[in-house]
Structure 1
């Protein structure tokens, strides 16, 4: 076994107080997100998305958050991919943000729903053309013989749509996760971290409480 017991770090950058943080967790998320974005990280929208397959096995992968408001948190994917199929079969999912530079984490649990095709169209056509072509070229999560096969598929799609707008594939679109629970974590000295949990009570009301670290 590789012994990693001596790798440790004290967290001392800040505090999180349940009496002063926002009553609405999306407002609190926005405040933290803007602070993090102002620190000029390479990819401020990076998050882990967790889903569960039909055997009850959790899966995780890194995606990019593409929008959020009081209705939820939006990301895009291939509906035929592993995550796409899992999220359509079991709508429960979790998002996780880890901003180590600020010693902060955010968990978001809830249920996903597909966004409208009109919204998906708007985002799809804002992407670089090569990314649009890639959505057609890749049968995401399916077996691939080799890299050349993928390159050939991309070349075929590029020729097919040469000189015309790339249409939104039927198998590609967005999910919105509507949060039922959100937790904010601020690292603290001596592992006495600050944790504030929000639980949705009604459509507009949340219960806020401090948790033991």
Structure 2
């Protein structure tokens, strides 16, 4: 971000209401309306997910974001091209504390990774560079081997599910009736899935995979 934030067009001043986690913030705009923000192009470890434990460096990311926002004289949000909100009605934005991109700070300090890359990519190259800085130095999330789920989204903090044990066939049984076979569609990752299903898929969809449902809301790759 080379130019001073205050001189940029399209910025909206806001004030802090509360920090939810490292990549989600609630703010108040000039009209007094509360906006729930989802910070574009970054992902931080979970701290408040109802079905997941607190992930390593999640609390540190939330604390650092809180520190940055509380220390600023003015906060600004900036929208990118494309959708302005997601299906949770969160505003998809870049967030600045005075002239500082909080996204870049979290990435450079190893408290966030680049993630959820869809149509909004205005600062992707800058964010990639900040992420690489932390990765090269083994900072934060990059200090734990295999923790960042590269090639997919999110972090590898859950134990793998055990393989089901084989069941033996009974010695005698009634003739089996054929069950209809479920059809499935397999995609390697969210990037590939969203080429076919741009809004993601629900849990009853043939292409749904639980590993792509980061927030466990029964909707993958939203």
TM-score where L is the length of structure 2: 0.20
From the two aligned structures, give the one with the greater helix fraction. 1
TM-score where L is the length of structure 1: 0.21
From the two aligned structures, give the one with the greater strand fraction. 1
